[in-house]
Amino acid sequence: MNKLIEKNLSTILLAITCYFLFTISNSLKESSRYNSDLRACAKMKTFINDKEASELFKQKAAAATKVPVKFIGEYCKKITQQNLF
Sequence ranges of the domains in the chain: 2-83
| Structural contact between residues 70 and 61, judged by C-beta atoms closer than 8 angstroms | no
SS percent in the chain: helix, strand, coil, step 5: 85, 0, 15
Q: Enter the pTM of the model.
A: 0.69
pLDDT in tens, 25-83: 999 998 899 889 888 888 888 888 888 888 888 888 888 888 898 898 899 889 888 76
pLDDT in tens, 2-25: 777 777 888 888 999 999 999 999
